[in-house]
């Protein structure tokens, strides 16, 4: 490491690299000969946090010490009292820690973790704008800690980086991705900014095996991972949240854990989970204001402010306002989002955090278009099949309290509690399929309040026995989700919901408003007293889990663990119909153990190979024809793969092979009923395939993120519909992939100019499990250009993105869960232009 020589001791401003902050402390050098180095002197340094102890060591010895503050944070030194040589005193200070020293030159040393893999300061600083740090600081201090995007700062500014080296989603511990025997991919804030991501779906398209699933427009986030739906369940900081649409302005990164993951998370779909990691309060003041504007009257304003409120107390405020139209007729959305949070440090080893999120959405539910024959109908992609007065509202509040306490350097505990209260009001005219390409519209009016309570407690400890390192986790959680839905179905008249006989609306998909007799104004939402449909439900579970990550010889990593869940699910349905009245209730109670084991070996510093086995249990929220709760889905996965980290961690990639089976898959019950309100379970399905992902920097100027996925997902057993055996699962392409490349111009004449371009491709997908129609494949081409410059202490970025440059017509998914697939096909956006101006200081 190059040290800065000064006339007296100085502390160089903290330079926060990708996940680290390097602090250089220097004094007037005392160049000594070998005899002087061996001379003893008096030391009186008490046991202190290591950062403070090193300060005392510098004052006593006159040595120069360079170290990574992220590595020494929370590390306690030994006391040094008595006469020692300088080297003896240093060794005693570091005794019992994971920190070692390396001599740079006479009287100059660096500190680093013993497990360093060769990630250098120079390599990491290459990701930062050169004007933001002193050139003389760059050299070769090694680093092996986790890369946390919140620490990507130089002189108070957040850096760009496509490659993330650490994630806690897979293990709930601070384990580098390279050392984890599981498949996990991360979308960084830098990627989201370069692609101007405003929805979660815009980000995860960069990850292999993840496709957008049907979501009624902007009603909820729903995806398919490794061939299986996520059932609209999204995780926030490792906590499951029910169906909703999430804001992206306050996200630091998005993590996707592939495969059956019930060993830590309980009820989950076996394809994997998507975890949204939010921004946290910082100790350094930073402010950002961005205005975006785009096609179809899109306007979006975001604000991000963070910094200290007082000593040991930091805050963060995120705000977003969105107002946008759509290429779809009558479709629009307005959103207000506000998320304040505080972080309070109660001593050196205790921190508590409190966050609030408020969301208010007004939008139109969009069921898409219908199928005709074996493909989507050839209607104009702007044609809206619903009613002109369709609307929906969503208001939600989330409270998140969590805290961590470190008992010592090796043991810590974390407590978390989340309460969420959301209310959805939906009033729209959905299209229903009556076979032979005959479609009719009905009425759906629902008020749906939801409350979710969840709490967890995790104990994490690190021990070493006979040279074997253990990273142990023991935890438990509780989850309860309640819904109380009231609504009506039919052509409402005077606020009364009546049955709707088929064939009365004369619906024509090619002219949905021209000759439709059914023109009920959905904006005239009836009062709750007029409702004739009531369906409360409750789901809760208790879970305990354990995990041990064992490291042998610094090359072999063995992970084992499991979880047991006690699960209860209750459904109730009261339906006052013209011809009959129903009052049904059902419940399901069961327990399930979900094991997971994995092994990873690193034959070389840059390569790791791994394999794992895991099981999962998932939720089936639908109602069967006989009124009973559907049996839960279960999954089993076998996976092998390889990971690589190149160029000191600036670039990483993974190649994975998996074999995943799932039983009791929820599907529409077209065998017993033509009503799209009833479901059944398909016996068994198999998904197996290959996934390739890579991201990072190829050179200082070129950043890249890309993926490829081959998925063979088929029904292998179905007693009720044996004709479906061998069919491909709906909404799953056999081949899909993406490639995005960004180039930062290094030339002085165009300094600050960035260009980027990418393609996203997919082969055809079956529209339903019966394989009666297909969604065609597509190739989408996007591009961006940005220019960044400084005005005093302010950084200004102007940017322009163009998506779907070739204006291709394609379809994202069909409605396989909440309605008839042939009557709900989502249409993708045509060419979309988005500009922005961002000010940071």
For residue range 299-343, list pLDDT tens digits in order.
999 999 999 999 899 999 999 999 999 999 999 999 999 999 999
Cα separation, 745 vs 239, whole angstroms: 40
Binning pLDDT at 50, 70 and 90, where does residue 706 land?
very high
Q: Which of 43, 46, 125 is nearest to 84 (CA)?
A: 43
Could you tell me the two tokens for 517? Answer: 């007799």
CB–CB of 198/248 below 8 Å?
yes
Confidence of residue 66 (pLDDT cuts 50, 70, 90): confident
For range 719-736, the mean pLDDT: 90
**831 phi and psi, to 5 degrees?**
-55, 130
- Cα–Cα distance measured from residue 341 to residue 400, given in angstroms and rounded to the nearest whole number: 9
33: Cβ contacts below 8 Å, ≥ 6 apart: none
Q: Give the model's pLDDT for residue 147.
A: 34
536: confidence class by pLDDT, cuts 50, 70, 90:
confident
CATH of domain 276-840: 2.40.170.20
pLDDT of residue 723: 86
Question: Does the structure show a pLDDT above 80 at 746?
Answer: yes
Place of tokens 């505990």: 413
How far apart CA 293 and CA 324 sit, in angstroms, is 9
pLDDT in tens, 15-37: 333 333 333 333 333 333 444 44
Average pLDDT over residues 7-12: 33
Long-range residue pairs from 787-796, CB within 8 A, at least 24 positions apart, any chain: 787/752, 787/753, 787/754, 788/129, 788/752, 788/754, 789/752, 790/131, 793/841, 794/839, 794/840, 794/841, 795/157, 795/839, 795/840, 795/841, 796/837, 796/838, 796/839, 796/840
Among 109, 135, 121, 144, residue whose Cα is nearest residue 16: 121
Q: Out of 8-22, 105-119, 518-532, 698-712, which region has the weakest mean confidence (pLDDT)? A: 8-22
Beta-carbon contacts of 156 under 8 Å, excluding residues fewer than 6 positions away, are 284, 285, 286
Matching CATH topology for 10-145 and 276-840?
Answer: no
Whether the Cβ atoms of residue 804 and residue 798 lie closer than 8 Å to each other:
no
Query: What is the CB-side half-sphere exposure of residue 286 using CA atoms within 13 A?
Result: 21
* Structure confidence by residue, pLDDT tens digits, 191-243: 999 999 999 999 999 999 999 888 888 788 889 999 998 877 889 999 888 87
Query: Alpha-carbon distance 437 to 694, whole Å?
Result: 43
Considering the chain, what percentage of its residues have pLDDT values greater than 90?
50
Place of tokens 């170290």: 67
The answer to whether the beta carbons of residues 15 and 25 sit under 8 Å apart is no
List the Cα angle 796/797/799 in 5-degree steps: 155
Q: Does 721 have pLDDT greater than 70? A: yes
For the residues of 64-89, what is the DSSP string, one character each? EEEEEHHHHTTPBPPPEEEEE-HHHH
pTM for the predicted model, two decimal places: 0.80
Number of H helices, E strands in the chain: 8, 50
pLDDT, one tens digit per residue, over 334-377 is 999 999 999 999 988 999 999 999 999 999 999 899 999 999 99
| pLDDT attached to residue 819 | 62
Q: Contact, 202 vs 218, CB < 8 A?
A: no
* Whether the predicted pLDDT of 9 surpasses 60: no
pLDDT exceeds 50 at position 528: no
The confidence score (pLDDT) of residue 519 equals 58
DSSP H helical segments within 571-617, as ranges?
Answer: none
Q: Of the given ranges (157-166, 468-477, 645-654, 823-832), which has the lowest mean pLDDT?
A: 157-166
What was the pLDDT predicted at 514?
Answer: 66
Q: Which one has a higher pLDDT value, 583 or 294?
A: 294
Name which of 84-93, 398-407, 529-538 the model is least confident about. Answer: 529-538
Question: Which pLDDT value is given to residue 136?
Answer: 28
Poorest-pLDDT segment among 292-296, 543-547, 576-580, 721-725: 576-580
Give residue 307's pLDDT.
Answer: 94
Q: Is 3 helix (H, G, I), strand (E, B) or coil?
A: coil
Answer yes or no: are the C-beta atoms of 562 and 263 closer than 8 Å.
Answer: yes
Structural tokens at position 381: 């992609």
What is the DSSP annotation of 330-357?
T--EEEEEEEEEEEEE-SSSEEEEEEEE
Neighbours of 43 (CB within 10 A): 22
Between 711 and 37, whose confidence is greater?
711
State which H helix or E strand residue 324 sits in: strand 313-324
Cα–Cα distance between 133 and 89 in angstroms, integer? 32
Question: What's the whole-number mean pLDDT along residues 111-120?
Answer: 51
Among 249-253, 478-482, 579-583, which is the least confidently predicted range?
579-583
Answer whether residue 697 shows pLDDT above 50.
Answer: yes
Q: How confident is the model at residue 138 (pLDDT cuts 50, 70, 90)?
A: very low
Mean pLDDT, residues 383-396: 89
Instruction: Using the CB atoms, write b or e for 269-278: b if 16+ within 10 Å.
Output: bbbbbbbbbb
d(CA 420, CA 234): 14
**Residue 466 structure tokens:** 């006979």
Other beta carbons within 10 Å of 553: 9
Which pLDDT belongs to residue 105? 67
What pLDDT, on the 0 to 100 scale, is given for residue 490?
62
More confident site: 388 or 293: 293
Predicted local distance difference test score (pLDDT) of residue 74? 64
Domains of the chain, by residue range, sit at 10-145, 276-840
For 10-145, CATH number? 3.55.50.30
Q: Name the least confident of 476-485, 543-552, 619-628.
A: 619-628
The residues that bridge with 82 in the sheet, in sequence order, are 43
Q: What is the mean pLDDT of the chain?
A: 82
Question: Both tokens of residue 778?
Answer: 């597509």
| Short-list 245, 242, 271, CA closest to 258 | 271
Averaged pLDDT for residues 552-574: 89
Q: Which residue has the tokens 């059956």?
A: 260
pLDDT given at position 476: 96
Between 280 and 89, whose confidence is greater?
280
Query: Which one has a higher pLDDT value, 448 or 530?
Result: 448
pLDDT at residue 623, as a whole number: 62
**Which of these ranges, 142-146, 317-321, 420-424, has the smallest mean pLDDT?**
142-146
Inter-residue contact 824 to 431 (CB < 8 Å): yes
User: How many CB atoms sit inside 10 A of residue 142's CB?
Assistant: 22
CA distance 760 to 193: 18
Confidence at residue 481, expressed as pLDDT on a 0 to 100 scale: 92
In whole angstroms, give the CA distance from residue 467 to residue 463.
10
Per the document, the length of the chain is 841
Q: How far apart are CA 697 and CA 200, in angstroms?
A: 23
């Amino acid at each position: 490491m190059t040290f800065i020589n000064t006339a007296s001791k100085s502390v160089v401003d903290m330079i926060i690299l990708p996940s680290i902050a390097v602090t250089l402390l220097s004094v007037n050098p005392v160049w000594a000969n070998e005899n002087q180095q061996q001379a003893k002197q008096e030391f009186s340094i008490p046991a202190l946090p290591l950062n403070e102890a090193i300060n005392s060591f510098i004052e006593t010895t006159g040595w120069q010490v360079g170290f990574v503050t992220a590595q020494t944070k929370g590390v306690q030194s030994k006391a040094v009292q008595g006469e020692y040589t300088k080297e003896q005193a240093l060794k005693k200070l570091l005794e019992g820690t994971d920190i070692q020293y390396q001599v740079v030159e006479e009287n100059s040393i660096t500190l680093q973790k013993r497990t360093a893999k060769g990630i250098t300061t120079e390599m990491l600083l290459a990701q930062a704008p050169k004007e933001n740090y002193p050139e003389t600081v760059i050299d070769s201090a090694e680093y092996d800690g986790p890369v946390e995007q919140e620490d990507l700062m130089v002189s108070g500014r957040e850096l760009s980086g496509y490659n993330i080296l650490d994630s806690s989603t897979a293990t709930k511990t601070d384990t580098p991705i390279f050392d984890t025997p599981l498949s996990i991919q991360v979308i960084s804030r830098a990627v989201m900014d370069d692609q101007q991501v405003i929805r979660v779906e815009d980000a995860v398209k960069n990850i292999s095996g993840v496709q957008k699933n049907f979501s009624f427009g902007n009603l909820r986030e729903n995806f398919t991972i490794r061939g299986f739906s996520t059932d609209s369940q999204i995780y926030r900081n490792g906590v499951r949240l029910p169906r909703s649409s999430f804001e992206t302005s306050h996200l630091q990164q998005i993590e996707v854990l592939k495969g059956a993951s019930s060993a830590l998370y309980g009820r989950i779909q076996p394809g994997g989970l998507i975890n949204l990691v939010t921004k946290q309060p910082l100790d350094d003041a930073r402010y950002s204001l961005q205005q975006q504007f785009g096609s179809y009257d899109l306007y979006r304003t975001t604000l991000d402010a963070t910094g200290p409120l007082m000593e040991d107390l930091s805050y963060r405020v995120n705000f977003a306002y969105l107002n946008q139209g759509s290429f779809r007729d009558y479709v629009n959305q307005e959103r207000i989002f506000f998320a304040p949070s505080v972080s309070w440090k109660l001593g050196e080893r205790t921190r508590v955090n409190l966050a609030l999120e408020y969301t208010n959405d007004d939008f139109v539910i969009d069921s898409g278009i219908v199928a005709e024959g074996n493909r989507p109908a050839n209607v104009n992609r702007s044609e809206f099949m619903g009613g002109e007065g369709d609307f929906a509202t969503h208001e939600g509040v989330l409270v998140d309290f969590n805290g961590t306490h470190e008992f010592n350097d090796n043991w810590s505990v974390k407590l978390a509690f989340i309460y969420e209260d959301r209310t959805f009001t939906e009033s729209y005219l959905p299209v229903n399929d009556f076979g032979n390409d005959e479609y009719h519209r009905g009425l759906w009016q629902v008020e749906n309040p939801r409350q979710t309570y969840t709490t967890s407690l995790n104990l994490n400890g690190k021990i070493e026995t006979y040279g074997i390192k253990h990273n142990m986790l023991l935890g438990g959680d509780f989850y309860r989700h309640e819904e109380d839905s009231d609504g009506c179905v039919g052509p409402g008249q005077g606020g009364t919901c009546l049955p709707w006989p088929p064939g009365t609306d004369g619906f024509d998909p090619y002219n949905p408003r021209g000759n439709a007799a059914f023109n009920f104004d959905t904006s005239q939402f009836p009062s709750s007293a007029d409702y004739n449909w009531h369906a409360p439900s409750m789901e809760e579970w208790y879970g305990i889990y354990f995990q041990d990550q064992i490291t042998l010889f610094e090359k072999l990593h063995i992970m084992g663990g499991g979880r047991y869940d006690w699960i209860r699910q209750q459904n109730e349905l009261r339906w006052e119909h013209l011809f009959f009245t129903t009052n049904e209730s059902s419940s399901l109670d069961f327990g399930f153990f979900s094991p997971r084991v994995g092994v990873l070996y690193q034959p070389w510093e840059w390569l790791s190979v791994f394999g794992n086995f895991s099981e999962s249990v998932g939720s089936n929220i639908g109602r069967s024809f006989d009124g009973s709760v559907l049996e839960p889905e279960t999954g089993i996965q076998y996976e092998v793969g390889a990971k690589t980290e190149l160029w000191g961690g600036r670039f990483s990639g993974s190649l994975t092979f998996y074999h995943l089976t799932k039983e009791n898959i929820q599907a529409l019950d077209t065998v017993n009923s033509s009503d799209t309100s009833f479901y059944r379970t398909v016996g068994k399905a198999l998904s197996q395939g290959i996934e390739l992902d890579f991201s990072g920097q190829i050179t200082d100027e070129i950043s890249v993120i890309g993926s490829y996925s081959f998925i063979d997902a088929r029904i292998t057993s179905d007693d009720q519909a044996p004709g479906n055996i061998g069919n491909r699962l709906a909404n799953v392409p056999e081949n899909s992939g993406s490639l995005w490349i960004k180039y930062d111009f290094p030339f002085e004449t165009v300094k600050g100019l960035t260009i980027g371009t990418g393609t996203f491709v997919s082969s055809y997908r079956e529209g339903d499990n019966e394989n009666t129609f297909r969604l065609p494949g597509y190739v989408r081409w996007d591009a961006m250009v940005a220019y960044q410059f400084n005005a005093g202490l302010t950084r200004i970025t102007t940017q322009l993105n163009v998506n779907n440059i070739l204006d291709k017509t394609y379809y994202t998914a069909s409605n396989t869960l909440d309605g008839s697939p042939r009557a709900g096909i989502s249409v993708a956006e045509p060419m979309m232009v988005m500009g922005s101006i961002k000010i940071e200081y």
